[in-house]
Amino acid sequence: MTIPSRPDPSRAFEADPFAEHGLLLPPGIVQPFELRFAPDDLHVIAYFQGHPAYEAVEAMIRRRHGQAALVRAILTRHDQTQIDHVNDEPACVEAQVLDGRRTVCRDVEVNEEGTSANPCLTVRFVSFANETVQLRLQAASRPDASRGGLTDPGGHAPTSSLPLMWRGKSCLAGSGTTVMIDEVAYDIEERIRSPLGFVGLNGFYTDTHQMGAMRASTRALEVMQEPARIGLGSTWIYARHDGSETHCVVTEMPSAEQVVVDTRCGQHSERVIAQIDGRCLRLMKVERLGPDGTGPGFALRFLAGHRFAMDVAGHHELVTGRFSSTRDAHRDMVIELLPQEPSWACARKVKVQIHRLGKNVKVTSSIG
């Protein structure tokens, strides 16, 4: 039997036969994945019939003390593509790197009515096509934690996102739920009708909705600074196409081999846990933190046996599968995440290609 030799550190980004866990990255790269985390207070969605272009409208709502709520309203077309409408300019700018999904900035009116036992919510906005859209969702019952858990996204946005949506308390939409587009009402089918008179429509009201997502994107970065030797205080600085910068700093060293890297770009922060491998990092965990810069948020972990797991808001291993890393004909690093559980995630393979030429780096992420 031939025992493979330890790879030359200068070629450390090639496949490592001794690796038991972790993802070995190329020099100068801290973490290449396009992660999002949205800890929203409410989520409402209704599926409707009869419109020539759309089949669903939904909204994710985050309350803010003394300010208007942050809202992402989504229209889903019949071909399953989606258009985001956000009322936050920085979020709109950030979304422009995302592929396969359009994002526009719009004012969104939100009106909360009813009671905790019988909530009702109205969302109104002008669409990307200048249509007036209104969703009024009347809950059919009190939101219930037993109806919480991980959401199956179905066929929505199959090539732009791998979403992990965790429902806290949820219930069906009830009678009184309406969808109007340009003042025309569209039918919402019954989902359930009991002999006792309970009626649930094809829509949902969720109290506490936490979503982590991997997104398709194309990012062009310039490496402004990278360490020749990795240790406490080591810093990577990347300039982005929009003029912003991402700063990654080693803030902790739990051991001589392990580092914690805190990353900041604009309003968002991430935390990376990795092993030092020469000038490279072996990625063990990356977590997109919440708006206040603390966890738990959306985490991607690389485990033994070339396996990975994804966690959201402290709920572990919601999606699991296998990963691989190779180099293509152009000697770019290609990372693939192949989800295996739950079954709906299997069709949303993640592929990340890292191309570096001098100080210029292009990271292309695709889904499906």
- Run of H or E including 89: helix 89-94
Model pLDDT for residues 106-155, shown as the tens digit of each residue: 999 999 998 888 999 999 999 999 999 999 999 999 999 999 999 999 99
At residue 20, the pLDDT reads 56
pTM value is 0.89
**Tokens read off for 218:** 């194309």
Least confident of 17-21, 91-95, 154-158, 327-331: 17-21
At residue 4, the pLDDT reads 32
Tell me what the pLDDT averaged over the chain comes to: 91
For residues 249 and 233, the answer to whether their CB atoms sit within 8 Å is yes
Please, what is the Cα angle at 263 between 26 and 349, to 5 degrees?
Answer: 55
At residue 330, the pLDDT reads 82
At residue 16, the pLDDT reads 42
* Residue range 196-208: mean pLDDT, rounded: 94
* Residue range 150-171: mean pLDDT, rounded: 95
Distant-in-sequence, close-in-space partners of 2: CB < 8 Å, separation ≥ 6:
none
Model pLDDT for residues 219-254, shown as the tens digit of each residue: 999 999 999 999 999 999 999 877 889 999 999 999
* Residue range 282-290: mean pLDDT, rounded: 95
Model pLDDT for residues 173-184, shown as the tens digit of each residue: 999 999 999 999
At residue 24, the pLDDT reads 96
* Residue range 198-209: mean pLDDT, rounded: 96
Confidence band, pLDDT 50/70/90 cuts, at residue 10 = very low
Model pLDDT for residues 44-99, shown as the tens digit of each residue: 999 999 999 999 999 999 999 889 999 999 999 999 999 999 999 888 888 777 77
At residue 15, the pLDDT reads 41
Confidence band, pLDDT 50/70/90 cuts, at residue 17 = very low
Beta bridge partners of 54: 77
Residue type, 207: D
Among the listed residues 100, 202, 108, 72, the one whose alpha carbon sits nearest the alpha carbon of residue 156: 100
* Residue range 281-292: mean pLDDT, rounded: 93
The answer, yes or no, to whether residue 8 has pLDDT greater than 80, is no
* Residue range 153-158: mean pLDDT, rounded: 92
Residue type, 172: L
The answer, yes or no, to whether residue 2 has pLDDT greater than 90, is no
At residue 13, the pLDDT reads 37
Distant-in-sequence, close-in-space partners of 341: CB < 8 Å, separation ≥ 6:
319, 320, 321
Confidence band, pLDDT 50/70/90 cuts, at residue 1 = very low
The answer, yes or no, to whether residue 12 has pLDDT greater than 50, is no
- Name the pairing type of β-strands 190-193 and 268-277: unpaired
* Residue range 20-26: mean pLDDT, rounded: 88
Residue 68 CA neighbour count, 13 Å, CB half = 12
The answer, yes or no, to whether residue 9 has pLDDT greater than 50, is no
